């Protein structure tokens, strides 16, 4: 069996809700540019042209997954477990 290494992806979220997913190591220059420059500039990312003033944020895959789950009505209990809308948490009843 071959073992495949997966690259960590980050999401560039721009106005109007568009998402561009990029490998983390390819996004470091964009992050530095956004931190250091306040004026708009067009950059090419994964073959797409993005105006830096339209970037809402750069988020991890985990953050994007949590946002999607919440939009779909799920919620996370204090035991860090996801539940569907209307479902009650019973994790406090489970043995440790």
Question: Considering the domain boundaries, does residue 4 fall inside one?
Answer: no
Q: What is the pLDDT of residues 33-86, one digit of tens each?
A: 788 776 678 888 888 888 888 889 999 999 999 999 999 999 999 988 999 999
The separation between CA 40 and the C-alpha centre of its own chain, rounded to angstroms, equals 23
Q: How many residues does the chain have?
A: 96
**Exposed / middle / buried, residue 32 (Cβ in 10 Å: 0-12, 13-18, 19+):** exposed
Question: Considering the domain boundaries, does residue 67 fall inside one?
Answer: yes
Provide the pLDDT for residue 95. 67
**Exposed / middle / buried, residue 22 (Cβ in 10 Å: 0-12, 13-18, 19+):** middle
Token pair 């964009």: residue: 30
Token pair 């997966």: residue: 6
15 is in which domain, residue-wise? Answer: 9-93
Question: Considering the domain boundaries, does residue 86 fall inside one?
Answer: yes
Token pair 């220059």: residue: 29
Q: How many domains does the chain have?
A: 1
Provide the pLDDT for residue 68. 94
């Amino acid at each position: 069996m071959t073992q495949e290494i997966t690259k960590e992806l980050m999401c560039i979220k721009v106005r109007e809700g568009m998402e561009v997913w990029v490998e983390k190591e390819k996004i470091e220059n964009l992050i530095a540019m956004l931190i250091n420059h306040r004026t708009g500039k067009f950059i090419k990312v994964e073959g797409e042209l993005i105006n830096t003033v339209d970037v809402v944020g750069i988020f991890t895959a985990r953050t994007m997954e949590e946002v999607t789950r919440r939009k779909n009505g799920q919620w996370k209990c204090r035991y860090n477990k996801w539940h569907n809308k209307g479902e009650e948490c019973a994790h406090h009843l489970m043995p440790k």
